[in-house]
A and B are shown apart, each in its own frame.
Chain A
């Protein structure tokens, strides 16, 4: 199993551009998450999904969108990138209700200039 994979590893965007961060898991997990990590601030939840077709906002959803058309994929869309979105983005998954151990991808480092 590859686990949780994320692409790209690095990206530089200009202000106002858009992009999609890809996340795929091959463990048949129901729950998937997107976090952002800023220096010294821990992880903040952007969006999560409890299954295909179901998504919900986390703590910091503004400026982002997600979709979950399959169990495996959970892409994160940035529209109109802003410098405040410069961060490291992590995707994670877990099996489902009652099992709270999360599996993390390697992260995407995004810079918006």
Chain B
């Protein structure tokens, strides 16, 4: 069975400092992995995706994530946080024999001025 764990429900960083949002997954097969962002009162928007090509994936708004098979992790990073990055972020795993898509519970990112 597949699962995904977002290790922090809330993360606070100061504007201009690095962002790290952690995601671990479990999958019996080669997974597809995604990060989505949800700004307040909005729908979910795809930030980036890993689908078995390059292990370092670049997304929109300066975000990137690295697929580490040995650590079963897909952490999301950004070198310098901006106030507009304040949002909820969801890590998603999919691509299994049963075609399921599994969402993490989300990490709320707070940006301090």
- Residues of chain A whose beta carbon lies under 8 Å from any beta carbon of chain B: 4, 33, 40-43, 90, 92, 97, 100-107
Contacts and interface: CB of A to CB of B under 8 A. Distances in A.
Nearest to B33: A100
A105 B105 contact: no
B105 A42 contact: yes
B46 interface: yes
B43 interface: yes
Given A41-B105, A97-B99, 18 more contacts: A33-B101, A40-B9, A42-B103, A42-B104, A42-B105, A43-B44, A43-B103, A90-B44, A92-B44, A100-B32, A100-B34, A100-B51, A100-B94, A100-B101, A101-B34, A101-B46, A102-B46, A105-B43
Contact of A104 (B45, B49, B105): B45
A42 B46 CA distance: 16
